[in-house]
Structures are given as structure tokens and as C-alpha cells.
Amino acid sequence: MSNHPPYDVVIIGSGAAGLTVALNLPATLSVAVLSKTVIKSGSTLWAQGGIAAVLGDDDSVESHVKDTLVAGADLCHEDAVRFTVEHSKEAIDWLISQGVSFDLDDSVSETDPRRYHLTREGGHSHRRIIHAADATGQAVLGSLVDQARARANLTLLEDRVAVDLITRQAPSANENRCLGLYVFNEVTGQVEALRARFTVLATGGASKVYLYTSNPDIATGDGIAMAWRAGCRIANMEFNQFHPTCLYHPQAGSFLITEAVRGEGGLLKLPNGERFMHLFDPREELAPRDIVARAIDHEMKRLGADHLLLDISHRDPEFIRQHFPTIYERCLGLGLDITREPIPVVPAAHYTCGGVMTDLNGRTDVECLYAVGETAFTGLHGANRMASNSLLECLVFGRACAEDIAQLSPVIEEPPQLRAWDESQVTDSDEDVVISHNWNELRHFMWDYVGIVRTDKRLQRARNRVELLQQEIRDYYSNYRITPDLLELRNLVDVADLIVRSALMRKESRGLHFTLDYPDLAKQPTDSIVIPTRYVPEAWKHPSHTGKIVP
């Protein structure tokens, strides 16, 4: 049995979503924040553009709501959109109170509430993106980590890879409660059982399922896969956002060129220098990401080009260096001076719009289990996430989740002792090459068959390969001691299965899901919901629960 003392709350993930939950919980609760590597890791650190919020006098909640609904291709849940936008200013105010320094507008007095510089990105009708140069994620994460390290009730656990959630399922009582989780400690090489009254999934998205991605290596859909195996419904996984502009260079790795470059006048061009976005959308470079990514993909395939160009060199060099210092320095280090020449770009998998179904408090279908940030499906993003709404979602729903946990805490009892991890029937593997081979195969066929443009034939090919990989990995997992690479591969294959299943369910082209077999919109927009065999309908009906599971 596990002798580890229970926590009140265990948060899996140390990005903006997870740390927002942790820092908004009462100081009387014991909280553990788990990070797969170091605390300052994950997608938040890579976020460049900024955070969308209604801050300017010429902007309004209604305008932000409308822009989000339009970008989401009529599939956003308006209650979730309105909830998010209405709480946007207080979320920004909270970040500022935590020490985040956003860029100021030099033309406005520092005592003026409009003193922050706001930029504009695709899909937005106003300048409403507050930012810290082109490294907003670094500024946000740095401040939140500093605050977390100063909290006596928070324990930050690095190098911990989540294995699976531990649940107590009692169908006769209509209950499926999360009691904690198994965690692989990379320092000791042992699996620990962590008990918790509440567990929060804040593990980010699953873009590493694709060959080319803007995400860090740890974005392997861990929270989504674990929630699915525990009995949670998963929605809209077919909507994988491909960011239109990632740097194309053999030494660049996964480096994003923020949408704010286009927001500040950057122009997309063919290799011969001609512009082309006017042929696809009247908003040109400021069209939503799904449209821009498909346009670039179309032109690359038409021309047989391996990249296109993003040119902001017509702007003042000092303006470029001031507003995009990270991009400028990164490109300069590769021999590209963006004040003089265009940036070579390609689309890459960027954001998972679907995820674990939650209500507006972050509650999932499993009692005492929450999901926030990119892991969750709140209904905010619909069929296409609008630029800079992602960090906003982390903040708004992270704060709502913490408030809900605080209200429920007095009536949720301590979980029982957990069974210790048993590896008496497994051995060390001498065939780790199988993991790397399967990893590469998965990401290649997902890119080829489940990418920006799809067909049922391609999707079925992917489904067949996923099923074969699932069986092989299941056998491997059952017979050998686990490793972080095996855990990530297991989660990625489950996520790939969810993506393909969801894509096969959608008989239309909407937002980020474009299929040659069904090029038109369906008359009635509906979510693609995948229901696990362990799902307990209406499992969590506590008297204090005022929200509702998103239908």
C-alpha cells in the first residue's frame, strides 16, 4: 500500500493553466504541482503573441464574443465564449498583480488605464492582444513560477511523468471518483501512488502526434489519454489547429513565427515575391488560422514548394527589433535578417481545440477530476481557435476551477489508501527500438493521412494503422517495465485514435477539419463526442454543483 501522505489537490502540469489553479487555491490546502521535466517547460513558455482581452475603450465584450464565434465556424458554445470574455479583464488584472510586465504604449501616460500596448491578430476586429514583446509566455510563466515557489502550501515536483489516474468505480452508486494517480519518478526510477482529494489535468495538448509541430516534445496528450481511460468523454478531437507560420530552416527545430507579425503588417508571399492571400479571403493575412494554413498548404502543393515567405521587412527596422526581439535574434542567428529579407515559413501542428469535456468550472465526468487549459474541451474554441484566446482560457478557467475546488473542499473526504504499483510480472526491455520505430511511424502517417486536408480513405488507413500500433503497445506495456518514452507513446496512440475516430464522424468541412469527400457545411453544427466504455452518465451530481456538463 502507498504510504505517501495525501494532498488536497494534485495538479498535473506546470504551465499557465496548472499554476493559475494552484495560485488561486486557498493557502490552507496542500497542493502538489507535477511537471514532466523542469517546472519552466511546456507550451506556455513558447507562447509569443499574447493574450486576448477586452481592454481598450473602442473594444467591447460583444465584439470579442462575435469575433470568437465567427472564427469558431459556428461551433463555439456561446455560454463558454461569453463566460471567458466577460472574465478577461479580471484575469489580466490578476496576472499584473502576480508581477507580469506587459509592454506599455509610449504615447500614453503610465497612470492611464489604457497604458498597455495592444496588438491585433487574425480574426480580431480590434487591437486587444496584450503582450510582453514577442515572448509573452516566458513573462507569464516566469512570474507564476516565482509566485508558486514562494507559497508554503505548494509543492513543486519535477521530473514526474503521470502514468494513469486511479479511480473508484461503483456503477450501482452511479459513482466514478478520482482518488489520485500513479506517477513515474525519473529521479528514482520508481512509480509512486499519489493520493488526492482533487486531481487537475493541465497537461496541454497533443500536437506531438504530428510529424511537424510548433509544440515542445512533451506535448503528447497525456491528460486527454488518461481521462479517456478513466471514463471521461472526449470531444472535437478532429480540430487540430495548424499554425500557418513556423520557421522553415534545417536548424530551427520547432520555432513559431507569431501571428502578431501579420497583425503588424507582415505579408505572405510566394517564392517569386507575389502575394496570394487575397485569392482566398478578403481579410487576407488577417483571416483566421484555418483559412491561412489551408491557403499556404494549397500554394505549396500547387507549386511543389517546400516553404513560402512571410515578409515584414517593409516596416521600420527599429520597430521590428522592438516588437519582435525573440524572432529577430533567432532568425539572425540562422543568417536571416528579417529587417531586410522575408522569413521562410511552413504550417505545423499547433493547438488541440478538442479535449476532455468539462463544465464552466473545469469539472469532468469523473468526480473530483478537473481539466483546464488545452487539455480541456470547454466549448470556447469551436472548430478553430482564434489567436491569443488560448492563454486567456488557461487563466479564466484556471481561476474558476480553483474557486470550485475551494467551495467543495469542506465536503470531499480524504481518499483511501491506494494499492502500490506492481511490477512483479514485468521485466526490463531489450527492444526499446520498437518504441522509437512506432513513434516515428505514428507521427508520419498522422501527418500524411490526418493533416490539413483529409479524405475518408486516408482516415481509414490511419485508423487501421492506429489499431495495429495500439495492440503492439498494449502488449509491450503489459510485459516490460515502463519508461517515459513508452508512456508518451501509449498516450499518443490513444490520442491518435480519438482524433481519427472524431474525424470519421464528421461528414462535412468545418473550420480546421477539411475533407475532400464532404467539402460543404452540414446544416446543423454538432460536436463530435467519443464516449468511453467506462463512462457513467451524470456521475457527478453534488448539491453545490451549479454548472452543467457541456452537451
Would you say 174 and 168 are in contact if contact means Cβ atoms under 8 Å apart? Answer: no
> What are the grid coordinates assigned to 387, written together?
489567436
289 is catalytic: yes
Determine which one of 120, 289, 330, 510 is catalytic.
289
> What are the grid coordinates assigned to 146, written together?
516565482
Beta-carbon contacts of 7 under 8 Å, excluding residues fewer than 6 positions away, are 30, 31, 32, 155, 194, 195, 196, 197
Q: How many CB atoms lie within 10 A of CB 493?
A: 26
Nearest to 288 by CA among 388, 209, 377, 428: 388
- Give, rounded to a whole angstrom, the gap between the first and last alpha carbons of the chain: 39
> What are the grid coordinates assigned to 212, written together?
511537424
d(C-alpha 224, C-alpha 492), whole Å: 10
Beta-carbon contacts of 490 under 8 Å, excluding residues fewer than 6 positions away, are 225, 473, 477
Q: How far is CA 472 from CA 163, 334, 492, 498, 533, in A?
A: 18, 41, 14, 17, 21
Beta-carbon contacts of 268 under 8 Å, excluding residues fewer than 6 positions away, are 244, 245, 262, 275, 276, 277, 285, 292, 295, 296, 308, 309, 310, 311, 345
d(C-alpha 538, C-alpha 367), whole Å: 10
d(C-alpha 161, C-alpha 181), whole Å: 11
d(C-alpha 259, C-alpha 291), whole Å: 13
Q: What sign results for the dihedral spanned by CA atoms 259, 264, 266, 267? A: positive
Half-sphere exposure of 276 (CA within 13 A, CB side): 22
d(C-alpha 201, C-alpha 197), whole Å: 14
Positions marked catalytic: 289
